[in-house]
A and B are shown apart, each in its own frame.
Chain A
């Protein structure tokens, strides 16, 4: 199997995630797009890992670390989104402009 095709799938999902982060205004949908980008990175790590065939399986270990960090990120992110909704009655990201002038 060609390595470059797997990496191309990773690049495709990463670009889709970038589009979602910029174009969506609902905060939960932005978090979903960030999950897509993290998964694209995981695809790259696994593909290079099974290309190298190293004894320590470093690519898979780091993919597991990224999965754990993604879980922490989405937990904190949703807590912040819930608090913004409780205080402002909206989670539209272009209306949350307290730090903007």
Chain B
């Protein structure tokens, strides 16, 4: 077992446990903090797979912006505590659906890619990402920026008091 596999096992345990706690915690703020742990572990996985820029972007955007936004949402909506207030009556059927999805996906993955290895040889540097993004993918990039602007204006219009 190589060092990368040891690190991956640790990342898998941390993100799996904290992800399960995100959807089962009885306190909304604790759920948001477990979400931070999950996203941080996933960022570590990205760094392990050689995706340097995406890993740090994950930290910056998800942990820095989205979780803070979610905490503002929790603060402004006065969420109550306790299992009855946060979960509905469909927990058993939800668990069945989630377990079924996981079983089917895992069977499919291991059937298709069971013996493929990731050749962790090189790290993709930010320079290569930038060259690819602004050369081949410049049109989708512009479309995403227009979408972000529209979402920004829409969020302000929706949340404004008038």
Contacts and interface: CB of A to CB of B under 8 A. Distances in A.
Interface in A1-60: 1-9, 11-20, 22-29, 31-33, 35-36, 39, 42-43, 46-47, 49-51, 53, 55-60
Given A15-B101, A46-B49, A81-B77, A5 B66 contact: no
A14 B105 contact: yes
Interface of B: 2, 4-5, 8, 11-12, 15-16, 19-20, 22-23, 28, 31-32, 35, 38-39, 42, 45-46, 49-51, 53-54, 57-58, 61-62, 65-66, 69-70, 72-74, 76-77, 79, 85-88, 90-91, 93-95, 97-99, 101-102, 105-106, 109-110, 113-122, 124, 128-129, 132-133, 136-137, 140, 144, 147-148, 151-152, 154-156, 158-159, 161
Nearest to B159: A79
A85 B109 contact: no
Nearest to B119: A53
B70 A2 contact: no
A19 B95 contact: yes
Interface residues of A, number: 73
Contacts of A79: 154-156, 158-159
Given A7-B109, A22-B97, A71 B35 contact: no
